[in-house]
Amino acid sequence: MRFFLFFLPAFGFNNLFAQEKGDLFRILSDEYSALTVRYNLLRDAQKEILFSTYIIKSDEIGFANLKMLADAAQRGVKVRMILDGLGNKLPTDMLLYLADQGVEIKIFNKKNWVRPSTFVRRMHGKMLIVDGAYCLVGGRNIDNEYYRMDSTDNFLDREVLIRGDQALEKATIHFNAMWKHKVICTDLKGTFCPDDRGRCETLLDKSIKEVAHQLPSLRKLRIADTISTADATRPTINPVQFMYSNFTYGKNGRIRRSSHFDRRVTRELLKLVAATDSTLDIEAAYFLPTRRWLKALRDAHRRGVRIRVITNSSVSNDVPLMQAVYSNRRKRYKRAGIELYEYYGTRMVHLKTLTIDHRIALIGSYNLERRSEKFNTEVAAWVDDPFQAGKQQVLFEKYLRNCKPYGEKYTATSPVFSDEQKKRKRKVAWMRFTLAPIAGLIFL
Spatial separation of the C-alpha atoms in residues 138 and 29, rounded to whole Å: 10
Q: What is the pLDDT of residue 212?
A: 94
Q: Categorize the per-residue pLDDT at 441 as very low, low, confident or very high, splitting at 50, 70 and 90.
A: confident
pLDDT greater than 60 at residue 112: yes
Q: Is the pLDDT of residue 12 over 50?
A: no
Across 51-55, 101-105, 110-114, 403-407, least confident range: 110-114
Buried b (16+ CB within 10 A) or exposed e, 267-298: ebbbebbeebeebbbbbbbbbbbbebbbebbb
The model's pLDDT over 308-343, given as tens digits with 9 standing for 90+, comes to: 999 999 999 999 999 999 999 999 999 999 999 999
Predicted local confidence at residue 16, as pLDDT: 47
pLDDT at 7 over 80: no
Helices (H) and strands (E) in the chain, counts: 15, 20
Smallest CA-to-CA distance from 258 within 385, 140, 159, 376 is with 376
Q: What is the mean pLDDT of residues 417-428?
A: 95
Rounded distance, CA 73 to CA 98, Å? 9
In this structure, which amino acid lies at residue 174?
H
Residues whose CB falls within 8 Å of the CB of residue 405, separated by 6 or more in sequence, listed in order:
339, 340, 341, 342
Three state DSSP letters for 219-258? HHCCCHHHCCHHHHCCCCCCCCEEEECCCCCEECCEECCC
- Check residue 414 and give its pLDDT: 63
CB atoms < 10 A from the CB of 243, how many? Answer: 23
- pLDDT at residue 255 is higher than 90: no
- CA dist 250 and 252 (Å) reads 7
Residues 6+ apart with CB under 8 A from 76: none
What is the mean pLDDT of the segment spanning 62-83? 98
Beta strands in 54-142 (DSSP E): 78-84, 104-108, 127-130, 134-138
Separation of alpha carbons 48 and 73, rounded Å: 9
CA dist list (Å): 281 to 224, 290, 340, 347 = 21, 18, 10, 20
Q: What are 172-200's pLDDT values in tens digits?
A: 999 998 998 887 899 999 999 999 999 99
- pLDDT score at 52: 98
**What's the whole-number average pLDDT of the chain?**
90
Question: Mean of the pLDDT values across residues 102-106?
Answer: 98
Q: What is the mean pLDDT of residues 405-430?
A: 85
* Helical spans, DSSP H, in 108-196: 165-180
Residue-wise pLDDT for 348-358, tens only, equals 999 999 999 99
pLDDT bracket for residue 1 (50, 70, 90)? very low
Phi first, then psi, for residue 422 (nearest 5°) are -65, -40
Give the least confident one: 179-193, 215-229, 289-303, 369-383: 215-229
Q: Strands of 110-231 (E only): list them.
A: 127-130, 134-138, 155-156, 159-163, 185-187
Q: What angle do CA 93, 97, 103 make, to 5 degrees?
A: 130
Integer CA distances (angstroms), 150 to 37, 124, 415, 419, in order? 21, 22, 20, 15
Q: Is the pLDDT of residue 257 over 90?
A: no
Q: Looking at residue 356, what is its pLDDT?
A: 98
What span, in angstroms and rounded, lies between the C-alpha atoms of 333 and 287? 10
pLDDT of residue 10: 38
The residue that leads in pLDDT, 7 or 365, is 365
Report strand pairing: 348-349 vs 155-156: parallel
Interval 264-296: pLDDT, tens: 899 999 999 999 999 999 999 999 999 999 999
> Is pLDDT of 261 > 70?
no
Please name each of the domains of the chain with its CATH number: 16-231 (3.30.870.10), 241-439 (3.30.870.10)
Alpha-carbon distances, residue 329 vs 142, 172, 292, 441 (angstroms):
31, 39, 15, 12
**Cα separation, 208 vs 211, whole angstroms:** 5
Identify the pLDDT of residue 412.
Answer: 55
CA dihedral 67, 73, 78, 81 (to 10 degrees): 30
232-254 pLDDT, tens per residue? 889 999 999 999 987 655 556 55
Q: What is the pLDDT of residue 111?
A: 79
